[in-house]
Structure 1
Amino acid sequence: MKITLLKSFLLLGAFMCLSLAEAQTVSGTVSDANGPLPGASVVVKGTTNGTQTDFDGNYTLNDVAADAVITFSYIGFSTQEISVSGQTTIDVVLQEDANELDEVVVVGYGTQSRRTTVGAVESVKSEEFNKGVIVNPQQLIQGKTAGVQISATNGEPGSAVNVRIRGTASVRSNNNPLYVVDGVPLSGSTTSPGTQGGSSTDNNGGGDSDIGQGSSLDPLSFLNPNDIASIDILKDASATAIYGSRGANGVVLITTKSGKSGKGVLEFSSTMSVGWIGNRIDLLSRDQFLSAQNTISGGSFVDSGANTDTYETIFRTSFTQNYNLSYGGGNENGNYRISFGYQDQEGEVEDSTFDRLTARINASQRFFDGKLKLDTQATISNIESQRTPISDNPNARGDLLSAAYGFAPDQSLFEDDINAGGLGGFYQPSAERRNPLALLELTRSTSSTLRALISVGAQYNFTDNLSFKTTIGLDKSTSSGNSAQSRLFKSGPTENIGRVQLNEFDLTNTTWESYFTYNKDIGDDVLNMTLGHSYQEFTRETIFIEGANFETTDLFLMVNNIARAQDFAANTTGETDELQSFFFRSNYSLNGKFNFSGTIRIDGSSRFGVNNKYGTFGALGASWELSEEDWFPDVFDRFKFRAAYGVTGNQEGLGSNQYTQRERFGTVNAAGNPATTGIVAFQNDDLKWEENEQINVGVDFAILDNKISGSLEYYNRTTTDFLLQIQSAQPADQPFFFQNVDGDIVNKGVELSLNAAVVETEDFSWNFNFNIGYNDNMLKNYSGPDIQAGAINGPGLTGAFAQQLSNDQPLFSFYVRDWQGLDADGNNIFANNAVQSFIGESALPDVTLGITQNFNYKNWDMSLFFNGLFGQSIYSNDRNAFSTIGNLSQGRNVFASTLPFVGVENPFNPAEVSSRFLEDGSFLRLQNVTIGHNFDLSENSIFSSLRIFANAQNLFVITDYSGQDPEVSTPRTLNNVPSLGIDLTAYPRPTTISFGFNASF
């Protein structure tokens, strides 16, 4: 018995020794082409024995069998499996996987593999962003995706950017998409302080409120573009339905940069830029002006003797400086990134500036073996801006550019008798015309906006399949603005009294969203479901104070001591909107070939009455990976067919409480005049959501070993029950009321995107990206009244309009007299008995185009970016106001293009709205050129990376348009219908040259 036991122990000991002899320790380094990869996963295949690489990419694995296989993986790189085969040191260099990098896209409430998407989703990464002087995040992706039109309304620093995804689908709303930043939906409202329309302090005939005060700031201008990692665009109903009524115009998902696993990285970048107006308006010179005046007057014109160039008076060369500093890092349980940014930008028009200071933190941490994840993001931004007297609603007297264009070059800007004109030494030609230098010196408009976007989230993984996430977000902004006008500034035939307007605008957007996510692998199939709830509250409060009749002429004292005014008026407003939503989405991937998606969302809004407070929206979609089928042609590396249908809603463009009856209560203004009382809105419980129905069919493809890839899509998008503000039958207590009207706004089009690796060698590469979109817009089945739109301004143009909303016409169609030229007596000749009519032209482009070319040679790189719009028309209100002989005969300067009409056109021709001033607005612009160099650094360098670059923006434009820029558009709202494609003294876009560097430590 003892011998048997002894043999057993000897055999067990021998087995244990043999096992110990076969187990070993393996160590090494994991890196990529640029160096060590911290946080890479190293796991013995088929076991739970694994680790992650440290800050220097090193790893150590114990108890590894001699015949084991080790798996090395890292996000964005191809996974490698290596047999140990007795080795104790294994070093691995992972290769980037382009397909892996592009595989995951951000969608609403999560991410999704691009292979399984059924909707139209575009993703633009930070390395693909546009470069140069970038103020607003939308400019980063201009021209990068098919069917997405991004254009600045003007060139003023920080001014609003319009984004149109697959056309214009609403009359009342601004048609901009929903913006979501790190999962927090924004309100989309401007945070700029506004000004009150009209003046209540004018009790003695002096003063006016027509002085321009600059453009509103873009709602996204608080974000530092350098903090953005990627921007994903959801274009069709299948992709946007998860956002319900807020996704009718598309969704733009902005993901900010976060820290990466490994040791902390310090990054610093700086850019210096210079800008100028490259395409100036050609006005008559002094000699041309005098010659033209003498021709018109028969030689009796009296020369005032000066030689004034007002263009040089108001424009300048601008300078911009931009600095960014960040520090980030992390480990397997969390990451962090802190950043600071500062941008100081001068405008090309005197006295226009934009200063932005931002601070941001992103942090996340896992607890309880990764089951609980807490994350927070916070952005604090302060913007200080000075706006020039150029207004979205300018007129011949109160707009800086109008004053400059029309100022006679033989007149002096200064008055010989300092008291004669009442302008403190500035000459004023007449009561209706302003001195541009006086506008700059005797008026001011500034604003300050402090904004905080903060979110805190928690995610708990109950099992490997089921998780719950809740996020609370706060978007809070406080803006203050002031505008002042010295009493030295003459207004009309009387002395001014001096005026100050102080405005404060507080916007609070609170969001609380919670949802469950369930993921389950069922054999080769994958099921994903999301069920959630969203609540948003939007609160807006404004304070307006106006003071008039100041004795002092010091603008600073007037603004900071409004108590010196003798007359006052004030007003406050406050309103709150609420939106509550329930949503569900299910995605099913069958066998890796077929993908199905279904979404439903129920929205309830306080903007509607009890009959239609809640709306139900949803979408269905499917895709088929044809290239996975054995019978499909091998020429395709990938070919996926997609189809989707969905309905979303829209409540934008409808203000708060428009369905309720509201009354104006009696008040007395500073002049002692009682305000009007009575009902200003009637009860309408039948107001309901606009509905946007969309069909999308597309294919994604790749050929030649994925060297050429792209997508081709067709969509048909129809808006029904659209909201209009209809004019009331008079007499009535209110001039307008909101109503859903019968009619269909139809947008249908085709989009094509192509990406090609044209050349790929060890030292040189050339990549070509091309996207083009065609869109056809039409108003169909509309039985409502024809509504005039597109207000036109200028001498003799009071009440004029150039657009009309009518059935079987595109939105923003031009409705003008058809000009045929001049008769023998110089009189205008119009077709159709000089009656305004449609002439087949619209401000909407038919085609959008973007072309990007990237070249790399060793450590040098170069990129070229072109963008273009084709098929749209522009009404040059500038020419209508500043290029007729009638204006010249009244002593105003005009555009040089007027010279051929001198002595030919009758100076008494009225300034009528006609096709004479309607032009083709198509253009192709070289938007961006960048050249950069990455330095080879020694191991002892203080830098981890160092890059220098030069950039040029807006180098040239190929266009037939005679104005300064075919892309700008002045808002000319009339009858509460917005306009597009009207150019009136818009702040011009500059050409800029930039130099900078990026460094990491």
Structure 2
Amino acid sequence: MKTFLNALLFCLIMVPTALLAQTTVSGTVTDKANAMPLPGVNVLVKGTSRGASTDFDGKFSIEVNQGETIVVSYVGYKTKEVTFNGQSSFNVVLEEDAAQLDEVVLIGYGSTTKQDATGAVEKVGDEDFNRGAIVAPQQLIAGKAAGVRITTGGGAAGEGGEIRIRGGASLSATNDPLIVIDGLPIDQRGGSQGSRNALNAINPADIEDFVVLKDASATAIYGSRASNGVILITTKKGSANQDLKLEYGLQASTRRVANKVDVLSAEQYRALASDPNFDSSTLGNASTDWQDEIYTTGVGAIHNLTASKGYENFNFRINFNHVSQEGPLNDLYERTGVNTSFVHRFLDNDLKLTLVAKAVQDEFDYANEGAIGAAIAFDPTQPVYDENGNYTQLGTNLATQNPLFVQNEYESRQTIKRVISNFNIDYKFWFLKDLRFNLNAGIDYAENNGHRFVEANPNNPDAAQTNEVSSGLNRNTSLDFYLNYKKNIESINTTVDVTAGHAFQEFYIRSFFDRTTNTNIVQTDINRNALESYFARASFDIADKYLISASYRRDGSSRFSEDNRWGSFPGVSVGWKIMNESFMENSFFSNLKLRAGWGVTGQQEIGPNYGYQGIYTPSRNNAANIQFGTTPTGEPIFIETLRPEAFDEELKWEETTQYNLAVDFGLFNNRLTGTIDGYYRETKDLLSSVPVPAGANLSDQLTTNVGEMTSRGLEVSLNGVIVQKENFGWDTNFNVTFQEREITKLNLSNDSDYFLPQGGISGGVGNTIQLWKPGYDPTTFFVFRQVYDSNGNPIEGAYVDVNGDNQITEADRQAYKKATPDAFIGFTNNFRYKNLDLNFTFRGSFGNYVYNNSASDRGNLNAVVNQPGYQANAHASYLDTGFVNQNLFSDLYIQRADFVRLDNISLGYTIPFSKMTLRTSLTATNVFVITEYDGLDPEISNGIENNFYPRTRDIILGLNFTF
């Protein structure tokens, strides 16, 4: 502190001296191409806050000292530095900078530049990320990229998020994109057992950028796993010739649920006593808001300590990260990780070795989310504890348990130890510098151990405690290599870029489960599958105007029989850099490119690894054994059995064909840039689990290829640098996506009336509220059309007789609305004033609907009085409808769920010191939602609100020190 005060005093003494020595210098800034003056150019004395902007005539005036350096910068132009040596005036000529277009972006097994990319590729860098105490990496880019929709699963500690690129291309198989971390494709099925989010092992503060490959021409190089897009994540690795840099960041946060389910208050509940079926003797003397009782304020902290340094031939970066995040249900997530990267260059930079290694321990202390349903249903007139200090219970076998009992007499923990490591060799051959060899070897290894304890139901004297222990191992090993040849052949004015390689990846999963209740169940499962691939790509840039790229991948998967094992996945794309044509010399465009692409991608993430062959499952723990006599003492003798599983020998790849047409443009020296992308996608041989006739196979459900689906969409993205001055800056991003999906075929007979029930709901065994049917979106609801009286009130049990047979039957249910939005948007603004910065992101969704299952199940009188031996609470919608019975399938509960959400807002201030920089920030997430939906939350991925863990509103204080 003494040193700091001395330094501060010294600075205060020197400031007047420095001011007295300053000289006023004037000048003009012009464009090298046409000698025209440039207004709004930033002119800054390097290392100081002294600066100015050029006026309309490109003129400026600035105070400067002898020997100081003046930095002149402007969007779309190369920055220029000029040393002041006493000259009274000087002119600065700026040259257009193609760096914005030449920015390198990763593609599969290689890289390209923005101006040379022919596929739908979008990069989101560190400077664009959402701010705050972000645990799940996917939240960094929520609302940032057109065509990419990220939906969090709720407010639980360590919760991740569902990622959908262009809506997904499958039904029963996964719709998650392939994620590649520093060259290592991770397991699309989750990465590790027991984790809420496969990406939690990646420290968000350690990520350099995301590159999203959206169309098939860009993703076909990944073949069998690319139908739902690809996300390439690059982590930070430090820089060459960099002084030792130390960074410490702290983000402290509080979290509370943003909304609660609307149920009857104690006063409203007591008002039901006038109903003859209500048993007033059960009423208590309390007024308990059970949701308030189970939800608390969660606190959290994220610590990041980073050291990085770069030499001429070597650089490293080491990061230590610790996360502690509490959920409002008293759940807890903790992560402790060490992230390292080492880069060494040999042989005059011809040989580059890169090692990235992450060692992470994730610890989850899960909450019993059944407490949410219990809090909705429990009698609000009952106290938390009875007169003996015990949890108040309703006393009958099937009664709802005390929500605090459900929450507190429960323990579920998982510890996951995970290592993700990748070693890369990049070598330029000495005899042919244009030829490179690249080898990538990676491993993702995770071990998990967990236990779960559930106290016996106190309402049921025959109930037993539940004790479970579990463990597992996930191992993902990958090895790929390729040769790349890139050369500018001047004789034909063409740049050739050719890549060819081989990849192999194996996944191994072992899980162990031991559960003790009234019986003991012990189970061990082992699964493994592998992929082998050959791939090639050739790209041509002709005369810096015409782009052609073609790729081909041949994939073999162990999940299919030898007859169907191999699939072929081609992709072709073309581009025309119209801006480089001579007729565009005087155009008001600063960039204009047209591109188109076509490609085929695959899908093999079907769940079962051996669905094509007949396998037998042994009976375990008497679950499927056959009794064969008894012992002399009368004990039953059980014989173990082998149960054959359903299989389809003809099981094969699901294939997706996609077409893409786009235009990239820039205006005003690229201060306004944008992209318009249109796509059409067809998926055939859909992999789905469907019912089969009795006797047709060894089960009534079979995973097979049954149908087809199409989707189409339009994506618009705009980026603008609205103001760029020395003391003030404002840039913005807006993206909007329009999308549409439709099942076109669902069974082998091509029956257009055939459908599959989907979307399980509460309120009865086996009930569903959605369907898969040709002609409809996969999230379409299946309901009766509600009839209303003259006052607009719903008439209980009255539905439209669609088929006119004078009776209401299952035949009168109709496909109606859908959970998938027609359009969604992201809108980000970044402001900077001197050392103060402000940024915020809005997200919105339009045309989507949600089924309010909380209301349909409990918004009726029978939810209170028609219970076996007890009375429960009702959803507050009962006060509006007056329904006596459940009306589960009424379209009354299908509610429009358009919304606009202020997702993230952050205010920061940077304080520079002589040897340290301090940045403070205050961030809020999920600040407010504008919506007509009156349920818990309009943003639910499957469109069914029921027992949903509410999203939280977080407040985060951040401190970042850089030395």
TM-score (norm. length: structure 2): 0.85
Letter in 2 for 1:145: A
Name the structure 2 match of 1:314.
294
CA offsets, 1:580-631, max 9 Å, x none?
Answer: 0000001110111111100000000000001110001010010001111122
TM-aligned CA distance change 1:610 to 1:192, over 3 Å: closer
CA offsets, 1:882-914, max 9 Å, x none?
Answer: 222221333221233322334xx3x2x244322
Q: Does the aligned pair in 1 maintain the 2:315–2:343 contact within 8 Å?
A: yes
TM-aligned CA distance change 1:545 to 1:759, over 3 Å: same
Name the structure 2 match of 1:634.
587
TM-aligned CA distance change 1:798 to 1:513, over 3 Å: same
Q: Does the aligned pair in 2 maintain the 1:184–1:473 contact within 8 Å?
A: yes
Please state how far the C-alpha of 1:840 moved relative to its aligned partner.
Answer: 3.1
Q: Does the aligned pair in 2 maintain the 1:846–1:872 contact within 8 Å?
A: yes
> Which stretch of the first structure deviates more once superposed, 893-902 or 630-639?
893-902
Cα distance in 1 between the residues matched to 2:279 and 2:471: 55
Q: Does the aligned pair in 2 maintain the 1:124–1:144 contact within 8 Å?
A: yes
Name the structure 1 match of 2:699.
734
Cα distance in 2 between the residues matched to 1:300 and 1:468: 81
Cα distance in 2 between the residues matched to 1:97 and 1:543: 58
Cα distance in 2 between the residues matched to 1:529 and 1:813: 45
SS of 2:597's equivalent in the other structure is strand
CA offsets, 1:674-711, max 9 Å, x none?
Answer: 58845533553321100010000000001112111100
Letter in 2 for 1:496: A
Q: Does the aligned pair in 2 maintain the 1:725–1:736 contact within 8 Å?
A: yes
Q: Does the aligned pair in 2 maintain the 1:866–1:925 contact within 8 Å?
A: yes
The gaps in structure 2 that reach 5 residues or longer are 1-42, 49-66, 627-637, 749-753, 802-807
SS of 2:880's equivalent in the other structure is helix
Name the structure 2 match of 1:139.
139
Q: Does the aligned pair in 2 maintain the 1:498–1:548 contact within 8 Å?
A: yes
Verify: 1:156 aligned to 2:132, yes or no: no
CA offsets, 1:706-739, max 9 Å, x none?
Answer: 1111000110011111111122322553232221
Name the structure 1 match of 2:659.
695
Name the structure 1 match of 2:311.
331
Name the structure 2 match of 1:786.
755
Cα distance in 2 between the residues matched to 1:735 and 1:34: 74
Cα distance in 2 between the residues matched to 1:451 and 1:814: 40
TM-aligned CA distance change 1:96 to 1:35, over 3 Å: farther
Name the structure 1 match of 2:342.
363
Cα distance in 1 between the residues matched to 2:550 and 2:482: 16
Name the structure 2 match of 1:46.
none
Aligned Cα root-mean-square deviation (Å): 2.8
TM-aligned CA distance change 1:190 to 1:490, over 3 Å: farther
SS of 1:701's equivalent in the other structure is strand
Please state how far the C-alpha of 1:425 moved relative to its aligned partner.
Answer: 6.7
TM-aligned CA distance change 1:651 to 1:139, over 3 Å: same
Q: Does the aligned pair in 1 maintain the 2:520–2:621 contact within 8 Å?
A: no
Cα distance in 1 between the residues matched to 2:302 and 2:709: 43
Q: When the two structures are aligned, how many residues end up with a matched partner?
A: 855
TM-aligned CA distance change 1:637 to 1:93, over 3 Å: closer
Name the structure 2 match of 1:763.
727
Please state how far the C-alpha of 1:789 moved relative to its aligned partner.
Answer: 0.6
SS of 2:583's equivalent in the other structure is coil
Q: Does the aligned pair in 2 maintain the 1:120–1:234 contact within 8 Å?
A: yes
SS of 1:221's equivalent in the other structure is helix
SS of 2:201's equivalent in the other structure is coil
Name the structure 1 match of 2:357.
378
Name the structure 1 match of 2:548.
596
Q: Does the aligned pair in 1 maintain the 2:677–2:715 contact within 8 Å?
A: yes
TM-aligned CA distance change 1:120 to 1:428, over 3 Å: farther
TM-aligned CA distance change 1:304 to 1:424, over 3 Å: closer
Cα distance in 2 between the residues matched to 1:675 and 1:882: 46
Q: What does 1:963-982 correspond to in 2, within 5 Å? A: 963-969=935-941, 980-982=942-944
> Which stretch of the first structure deviates more once superposed, 674-683 or 537-546?
674-683
Letter in 1 for 2:698: D
> Which stretch of the first structure deviates more once superposed, 285-294 or 536-545?
285-294
Letter in 1 for 2:427: Y
TM-aligned CA distance change 1:889 to 1:753, over 3 Å: same
Name the structure 2 match of 1:942.
915
TM-score (norm. length: structure 1): 0.81
Cα distance in 1 between the residues matched to 2:596 and 2:217: 9
Name the structure 2 match of 1:10.
none
Name the structure 2 match of 1:396.
none
Please state how far the C-alpha of 1:81 moved relative to its aligned partner.
Answer: 11
Please state how far the C-alpha of 1:133 moved relative to its aligned partner.
Answer: 2.2
Name the structure 2 match of 1:922.
898
SS of 1:241's equivalent in the other structure is helix
Cα distance in 2 between the residues matched to 1:35 and 1:588: 43
CA offsets, 1:370-413, max 9 Å, x none?
Answer: 222211000111111111112xxxxxxxx211110010111233
Please state how far the C-alpha of 1:417 moved relative to its aligned partner.
Answer: 6.1
Verify: 1:406 aligned to 2:377, yes or no: yes
CA offsets, 1:287-310, max 9 Å, x none?
Answer: 111012324648956532222221
Letter in 2 for 1:180: V
Please state how far the C-alpha of 1:530 moved relative to its aligned partner.
Answer: 0.7
Cα distance in 2 between the residues matched to 1:96 and 1:289: 72
Cα distance in 2 between the residues matched to 1:138 and 1:783: 35
Verify: 1:468 aligned to 2:441, yes or no: no
SS of 1:400's equivalent in the other structure is helix
Residue number among 344, 358, 372 corresponding to 2:324 in the alignment: 344
Please state how far the C-alpha of 1:263 moved relative to its aligned partner.
Answer: 1.1
Verify: 1:962 aligned to 2:958, yes or no: no
Name the structure 1 match of 2:562.
610
Verify: 1:118 aligned to 2:118, yes or no: yes
SS of 1:312's equivalent in the other structure is helix
Q: Does the aligned pair in 2 maintain the 1:293–1:888 contact within 8 Å?
A: no
Residue number among 862, 872, 878 corresponding to 2:854 in the alignment: 878
TM-aligned CA distance change 1:302 to 1:218, over 3 Å: closer
Name the structure 2 match of 1:555.
none
Verify: 1:869 aligned to 2:845, yes or no: yes
TM-aligned CA distance change 1:243 to 1:93, over 3 Å: farther
Q: Does the aligned pair in 1 maintain the 2:936–2:945 contact within 8 Å?
A: no
> Which stretch of the first structure deviates more once superposed, 531-540 or 444-453?
444-453
Aligned-pair identity in percent equals: 33
SS of 2:660's equivalent in the other structure is strand
Q: What does 1:890-901 correspond to in 2, within 5 Å? A: 890=866, 891-901=871-881
Verify: 1:829 aligned to 2:798, yes or no: yes
TM-aligned CA distance change 1:97 to 1:892, over 3 Å: farther
Name the structure 2 match of 1:278.
258
Q: What does 1:701-850 correspond to in 2, within 5 Å? A: 701-731=665-695, 733-741=698-706, 743-784=707-748, 785-794=754-763, 797-821=764-788, 827-832=796-801, 833-835=808-810, 837-850=813-826
TM-aligned CA distance change 1:958 to 1:228, over 3 Å: same
Cα distance in 2 between the residues matched to 1:116 and 1:772: 24
Q: Does the aligned pair in 2 maintain the 1:668–1:675 contact within 8 Å?
A: no
The gaps in structure 1 that reach 5 residues or longer are 1-30, 37-57, 59-71, 195-215, 391-398, 550-566, 970-979
Verify: 1:172 aligned to 2:172, yes or no: yes
SS of 2:288's equivalent in the other structure is coil
Verify: 1:220 aligned to 2:179, yes or no: no
CA offsets, 1:953-999, max 9 Å, x none?
Answer: 11100111112211134xxxxxxxxxx21111111101111111212
TM-aligned CA distance change 1:96 to 1:876, over 3 Å: farther
Q: Does the aligned pair in 2 maintain the 1:865–1:927 contact within 8 Å?
A: yes
Name the structure 2 match of 1:657.
610
